[in-house]
Amino acid sequence: MRTLPGRGPHLAEVATEYGDQVLFLGINVRDSPDAARAFERSFDIPYDSVHPDDSARVLPRFGSALTTAAVPVTLVLDTRTRVASRVLGAADASTLRALLDEALAQGSAT
């Protein structure tokens, strides 16, 4: 299972908790590459991120589930990279945990 989290201070916390069970990937389409990296440093983000200069080749792979009009957005993908759940807007830690626990319980994790 992979998750593509929206922005927020809870991301690093949840990514650290679930890091041995899921893969996290940040996608930043609004900020400059330098601002995106500053965000990652500021919140000590423990996962890789795609920056605006890479987003043109990444965003189309998610179709309508991930658009620049709906930012931030959090996607939880199953092991086949299908969208298992989606949150529009900032996702707090309890929401992220609930989505991940549900996906893990359904056997979506790798």
Task: Note the pLDDT of residue 4.
Answer: 47
Instruction: Tell me which fold the domain 2-105 belongs to.
Output: Glutaredoxin (3.40.30)
3-state secondary structure at position 76: strand
Number of H helices, E strands in the chain: 4, 5
Task: Note the pLDDT of residue 98.
Answer: 93
This prediction's pTM: 0.73
Query: Which residues, including other chains, have CB under 8 Å from residue 13's CB and lie 6 or more apart?
Result: 93
Task: Note the pLDDT of residue 107.
Answer: 74
**Chunked mean pLDDT (size 10), the chain, 110 residues:** 55 87 80 84 84 72 70 77 80 89 75
| Domain boundaries, given as residue ranges, for the chain | 2-105
